[in-house]
């Protein structure tokens, strides 16, 4: 693959450090692909091409001056359009924020700038990272690069599509019920919802405070580890931020998963929300890869998926209404229909009901951590392959069970990686879940799996 835009962060950073690739050349390769192909995907809502060129030139000058360089130095990246960017419009896809220009960068953006990253622009999302896909909001929804008639899922839709399409090697998204992992799964890339509190949410427009996570998406798990090294850390300005040591995530990628015990929530997959035969076959094949690498697999029992959904969604609808109540009362017509439907009933949730849902969350989180203490990792599909990009009944948010939401409720780290392709050429996905703050083991397993399988060799053609 000769176009530098297809290089992973790990590959590009080695070439940049060796002065075999200029950040300017890499940035121009990404901007060129975006300019010629993004009209097919609508993955960007704002391009910052001139800023990117300026940052790339500065990065190149630092290389030539022999300055010490981090792994992200001179690497292009993009951000879901809910991360505040000083002086750059941040809309959350909403007509309500059409003219919103933050004065200060989000924590994550500060870290990416300090690491020498090159900002390409802002990515399409679902309105306020919750309602979608929508055609009645500020921008059209992003499309899936594996098949443009299919959805890239949501809500970090444009972020995942941009990485899979070779527009950017890195992006950051947010995940309240699966919004990093779902798009990563649909677009066949790697995406990590870190442990709750490991990455600051300061400057990320909230969806639901108690379940929001910020995290990285990239083509490989190794690249996700590089990004985590940059953005993880304690932020006193985020009340949910954890003050814990940050390990060396790259050093954790040993390729060795021998002896790890992998749990599988069989009742979820066979009874409560049965997999399609093709997805089950792909999942079984992924487990066989881990067995072949020396891990053991055994069934585990977790509380019902339905309970996780009920707790999370009751809490979320109340918190969302709290955030958007003023606008719902005064200018409801400015919301997209999907988001409005999904949050408006939050105004009728009583305090007692919200707190009972928080009590249920306590039970579920305890049950989750008890099971996780008995295994090293939990594995299950992230989701079924991507569906068509078409309007979905907004009520589906309330009625459709998710394999991702339980780990927002528990706060556990959860990574989605590509685990093959179906007959239509759409990616299958594997979700790897770890103990709290053991994101390193999750990344180790994802990296080992990717290196033992051929799925990283295939890119979508546009």
Interface residues with other proteins (CB under 8 A) are 210, 236-237, 239-240, 306-307, 309-311, 313-314, 317, 325, 328-329, 332, 337, 340-342, 344-349, 353, 355-362, 365, 394-395, 398-399
Q: Which of 13, 80, 94, 338 is catalytic?
A: 80
Name the token pair of 123. Answer: 């990515």
Q: Which of 134, 168, 179, 429 is catalytic?
A: 179
What is the signed CA dihedral for 102, 55, 79, 248, rounded to 10 degrees?
Answer: -120
Least Å from the CB of residue 287 to other proteins: 31
The residue among 68 and 236 lying less far from other proteins, judged by its C-beta, is: 236
- What is the residue whose two structure tokens read 């950051």? 172
Residue 90: half-sphere exposure toward Cβ, Cα within 13 Å: 24
CA distance readout (Å), 386 to 141, 151, 190, 380, 394:
14, 6, 15, 16, 17
The residue among 318 and 415 lying less far from other proteins, judged by its C-beta, is: 318
Least Å from the CB of residue 341 to other proteins: 5
> What is the distance between the alpha carbons of residues 36 and 282, in angstroms, rounded to a whole number?
34
Least Å from the CB of residue 387 to other proteins: 20
DSSP letter at 112? Answer: H
CA distance readout (Å), 185 to 43, 181, 197, 250, 405:
16, 6, 23, 22, 14
Angle at 16 between CA 7 and CA 116, to 5 degrees: 95
Least Å from the CB of residue 357 to other proteins: 6
Q: Which secondary structure element, helix H or strand E, spans residue 450, and what is its range?
A: helix 439-452
The residue among 331 and 388 lying less far from other proteins, judged by its C-beta, is: 331
Q: Is 156 known to be catalytic?
A: no
The residue among 6 and 341 lying less far from other proteins, judged by its C-beta, is: 341
Burial 36-67 (b: 16+ CB within 10 A, else e): eebeebbbbbbbbbebbbebbbebbebbeeee
Least Å from the CB of residue 442 to other proteins: 22
The residue among 143 and 340 lying less far from other proteins, judged by its C-beta, is: 340
Q: Which of 155, 241, 383, 419 is catalytic?
A: 155
Angle at 67 between CA 61 and CA 68, to 5 degrees: 130
Q: Is 451 known to be catalytic?
A: no
Least Å from the CB of residue 178 to other proteins: 17
- Is 317 within 8 Å of 345 (Cβ atoms)? yes
> What is the distance between the alpha carbons of residues 338 and 398, in angstroms, rounded to a whole number?
12
> What is the distance between the alpha carbons of residues 423 and 418, in angstroms, rounded to a whole number?
15
Name the token pair of 315. Answer: 């809490």
Least Å from the CB of residue 235 to other proteins: 9
Give the chain's end-to-end CA distance (angstroms, integer).
Answer: 15
> What is the distance between the alpha carbons of residues 205 and 129, in angstroms, rounded to a whole number?
9
The residue among 97 and 316 lying less far from other proteins, judged by its C-beta, is: 316
Least Å from the CB of residue 63 to other proteins: 34
The residue among 163 and 368 lying less far from other proteins, judged by its C-beta, is: 368
Q: Is 94 known to be catalytic?
A: no
> What is the distance between the alpha carbons of residues 103 and 87, in angstroms, rounded to a whole number?
6
The residue among 309 and 439 lying less far from other proteins, judged by its C-beta, is: 309
Active site residues: 80, 155, 179
């Amino acid at each position: 693959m000769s176009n530098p835009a297809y290089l992973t962060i790990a590959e590009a950073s080695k070439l940049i450090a060796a002065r075999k690739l200029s950040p300017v050349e890499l940035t121009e390769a990404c901007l060129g692909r975006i300019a010629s192909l993004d009209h097919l995907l609508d993955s960007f809502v704002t391009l910052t091409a001139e800023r990117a060129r300026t940052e790339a030139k500065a990065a190149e000058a630092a290389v030539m001056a022999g300055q010490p360089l981090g792994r992200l130095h001179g690497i292009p990246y993009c951000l879901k359009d809910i991360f505040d960017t000083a002086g750059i419009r941040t809309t959350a896809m909403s007509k309500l924020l059409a003219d919103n220009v933050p004065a200060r960068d989000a924590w994550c953006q500060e870290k990416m700038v300090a690491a020498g990253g090159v900002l390409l622009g802002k990515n399409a999302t679902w309105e306020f990272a919750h309602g979608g896909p929508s055609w009645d909001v500020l921008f059209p929804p992003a499309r899936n690069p594996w098949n443009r008639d299919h959805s890239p899922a949501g809500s970090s839709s444009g972020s995942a599509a941009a990485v899979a399409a070779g527009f950017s090697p890195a992006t950051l998204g947010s995940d309240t019920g699966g919004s990093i992992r779902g798009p990563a799964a649909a677009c066949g890339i790697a995406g990590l919802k870190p442990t709750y509190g490991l990455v600051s949410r300061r400057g990320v427009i909230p969806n639901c405070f108690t379940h929001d996570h910020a995290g990285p998406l990239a083509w490989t798990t190794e690249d996700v580890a590089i990004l985590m090294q940059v953005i993880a850390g304690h932020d006193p300005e985020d009340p949910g931020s954890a003050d814990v040591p940050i390990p060396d995530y790259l050093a954790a990628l040993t390729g060795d998963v021998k002896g790890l015990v992998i749990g599988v929530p069989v009742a979820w997959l066979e009874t409560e929300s049965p997999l399609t035969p093709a997805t089950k076959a792909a999942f079984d094949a992924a487990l066989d890869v881990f067995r072949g690498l020396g891990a053991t697999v055994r069934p585990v029992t977790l509380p019902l998926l339905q309970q996780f959904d009920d707790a999370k969604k009751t809490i979320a609808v109340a918190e969302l209404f709290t955030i958007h109540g003023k606008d719902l009362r005064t200018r409801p017509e400015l919301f997209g229909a999907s988001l409005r439907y999904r949050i408006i009933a939050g105004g009728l949730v009583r305090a007692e009901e919200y707190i009972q849902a928080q009590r249920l969350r306590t039970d579920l989180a305890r049950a989750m951590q008890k099971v996780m203490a008995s295994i090293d990792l939990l594995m299950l599909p992230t989701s079924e392959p991507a569906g068509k990009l078409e309007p979905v009944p907004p009520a589906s948010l309330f009625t459709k069970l998710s394999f991702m939401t339980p780990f927002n409720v528990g706060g556990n780290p959860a990574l989605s990686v590509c685990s093959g392709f179906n007959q239509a050429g759409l990616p299958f996905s594997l979700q790897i879940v770890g103990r709290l703050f053991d994101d390193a083991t999750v990344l180790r397993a994802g990296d080992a799996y990717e290196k033992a399988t051929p799925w990283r060799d295939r890119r979508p053609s546009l």
